[in-house]
Structure 1
Amino acid sequence: MSFLPGLVETTAVTDLYVDTNEVHREKIPQGTIWKIKVPADSKMTINIVSGIAEIFGTELANNVEYSFSNWNFSIYAVEEVHLEWKGSDPHPIVEDEDLISNRTAKYIYNLHFSLDKMRSTSFEGPNILVIGNKGSGKTALCRTLSSYSIKFKAYSPMFVNLNPQEAVFSPPGCLSATPISDILDVELPIWGQSMTSGATALHTKQPILKLFGLEMIAENPQRYLQTMDSLASVINSRLEKDSLVQRSGCIIDTPPLGQLSDDLHELVHIIQKFRINFVVMLADVDNEEDTATLEKVTPLAKSLVGDFFVKIPRLCGVIPSDDVYMRSLQRSSIREYFYGNPGTALSPFSLSLDFEDLVIWEPKNVLSNGETAVENNEILNLSQVSISPSSVQHALICITHQDKHAKQEDVANAAILGFALITEVNEKRRKMRVLLPVPGNFPNNACILTSYRYLE
Structure 2
Amino acid sequence: MDRQDISSFIGGTDLAAAPIPTVIFNLPKEHELRFEVEHGETALIKLIEGNAEYFGTELLLNREYKLTGCKGAVFTWNSCKLEVSQSTKAYIANETPMMQYARVHKIMDDIRISCLSNRESGPKVIIVGPTDVGKSSISKILLGYSTRLGYAPTFVDLDPGQGSITIPGAVCASLVDKPVDIEDGLTNSLPFVQYYGHTSLDANPTLFKALVSSLATSIEKRMETNEQARVSGVIINTCGWIDGLGYEILIDSIDIFKANLIVVMDNDKLYSELNKKYTGAIKVIKLPKSGGVYLRSPIFRKKTRMSKIREYFYGISGDLCPHFTILDFKDIVVLKTGGGPAAPSSALPIGAQSVIDPLQLQEVTPSTDMIHSILAVSYTKSKQSILKSNIAGFLYVTEVNLETKKMTVLAPCPGLIPSKFLLMGTLKWLE
TM-score interval w.r.t. the shorter chain? 0.7 to 0.9
Secondary structure of the residue that 2:295 maps to in structure 1? Answer: coil
Q: What residue is the counterpart of 1:104 in the other structure?
A: 97
Cα distance, 1:115 vs. partner? Answer: 1.2
Distance in 1 of aligned mates of 2:68 and 2:41? 6
CA contact (8 A) 2:124 2:259 kept: yes
Cα distance, 1:176 vs. partner? Answer: 1.1
Cα distance, 1:244 vs. partner? Answer: 0.7
Q: What residue is the counterpart of 1:136 in the other structure?
A: 133
Distance in 2 of aligned mates of 1:112 and 1:229? 26
1:354 aligns with 2:337: no
CA contact (8 A) 1:353 1:434 kept: yes
What are the residue-to-residue correspondences of 1:375-414 with 2, within 5 Å? 378-389=357-368, 391-403=369-381, 406-407=382-383, 409-414=384-389
Distance in 2 of aligned mates of 1:374 and 1:337? 42
Distance in 2 of aligned mates of 1:56 and 1:215? 25
CA contact (8 A) 1:222 1:374 kept: no
Cα distance, 1:127 vs. partner? Answer: 0.9
1:338 to 300, 308, 313: 313
Letter in 2 for 1:393: I
| CA deviation vs aligned residue, 1:71-114 (integer Å, no higher than 9, x gap) | 11111122322222226xx2434xxxx32223311111111112
| CA deviation vs aligned residue, 1:107-153 (integer Å, no higher than 9, x gap) | 111111121122112233111111111111111111101100121x2
Letter in 1 for 2:150: A
Q: What residue is the counterpart of 1:40 in the other structure?
A: 39
CA contact (8 A) 1:49 1:82 kept: yes
| CA deviation vs aligned residue, 1:212-240 (integer Å, no higher than 9, x gap) | 11111111111111000100000000111
TM-score (norm 1): 0.82
Cα distance, 1:33 vs. partner? Answer: 2.2
Q: What residue is the counterpart of 2:233 in the other structure?
A: 249
Aligned residues: CA RMSD: 2.6
What are the residue-to-residue correspondences of 1:7-18 with 2, within 5 Å? none
CA contact (8 A) 2:56 2:179 kept: no
Q: What residue is the counterpart of 2:79 in the other structure?
A: 80
Aligned CA distance change for structure 1 residues 429 and 452 (closer, same or farther; 3 Å): same
Distance in 2 of aligned mates of 1:169 and 1:323? 21
CA contact (8 A) 2:40 2:68 kept: yes
Letter in 1 for 2:273: K
Q: What residue is the counterpart of 2:180 in the other structure?
A: 184
2:212 to 203, 208, 228: 228
What are the residue-to-residue correspondences of 1:313-332 with 2, within 5 Å? 313-332=288-307
1:173 to 165, 169, 175: 169
| CA deviation vs aligned residue, 1:24-50 (integer Å, no higher than 9, x gap) | 322233222222111121112111111
Aligned residues: 404
CA contact (8 A) 1:279 1:301 kept: no
Distance in 2 of aligned mates of 1:245 and 1:412? 24
Distance in 1 of aligned mates of 2:343 and 2:130? 27
| CA deviation vs aligned residue, 1:236-285 (integer Å, no higher than 9, x gap) | 001111101111111111111436527x33233222221211111112xx
Q: What residue is the counterpart of 1:53 in the other structure?
A: 52
Q: What residue is the counterpart of 2:398 in the other structure?
A: 423
Q: What residue is the counterpart of 1:449 in the other structure?
A: 424
Distance in 1 of aligned mates of 2:328 and 2:316? 31
Distance in 2 of aligned mates of 1:172 and 1:400? 16
Q: What residue is the counterpart of 2:348 in the other structure?
A: none
Which 4+ residue blocks in structure 1 deviate beyond 6 angstroms? 370-375
Distance in 1 of aligned mates of 2:344 and 2:380? 28
Letter in 2 for 1:120: I
Distance in 1 of aligned mates of 2:183 and 2:358? 40
Aligned CA distance change for structure 1 residues 312 and 376 (closer, same or farther; 3 Å): farther
Distance in 2 of aligned mates of 1:92 and 1:20? 19
TM-score (norm 2): 0.86
2:249 to 246, 249, 266: 266
Aligned CA distance change for structure 1 residues 318 and 272 (closer, same or farther; 3 Å): same
Distance in 1 of aligned mates of 2:31 and 2:45? 17
2:274 to 280, 297, 300: 297
Distance in 2 of aligned mates of 1:165 and 1:273? 21
Distance in 2 of aligned mates of 1:370 and 1:146? 47
Letter in 1 for 2:260: N
CA contact (8 A) 2:154 2:174 kept: yes
Distance in 2 of aligned mates of 1:179 and 1:44? 29
Aligned CA distance change for structure 1 residues 291 and 158 (closer, same or farther; 3 Å): same
Q: What residue is the counterpart of 1:196 in the other structure?
A: none
Distance in 1 of aligned mates of 2:389 and 2:228? 28
Q: What residue is the counterpart of 1:25 in the other structure?
A: 24
Cα distance, 1:430 vs. partner? Answer: 3.5
Aligned CA distance change for structure 1 residues 424 and 241 (closer, same or farther; 3 Å): same
The answer for unaligned runs of 5 or more in structure 1 is 1-18, 194-203, 284-289
Determine what percentage of the aligned residue pairs are the same residue: 25
Letter in 1 for 2:103: N
CA contact (8 A) 1:173 1:215 kept: yes
Aligned CA distance change for structure 1 residues 49 and 401 (closer, same or farther; 3 Å): same
Cα distance, 1:384 vs. partner? Answer: 2.4
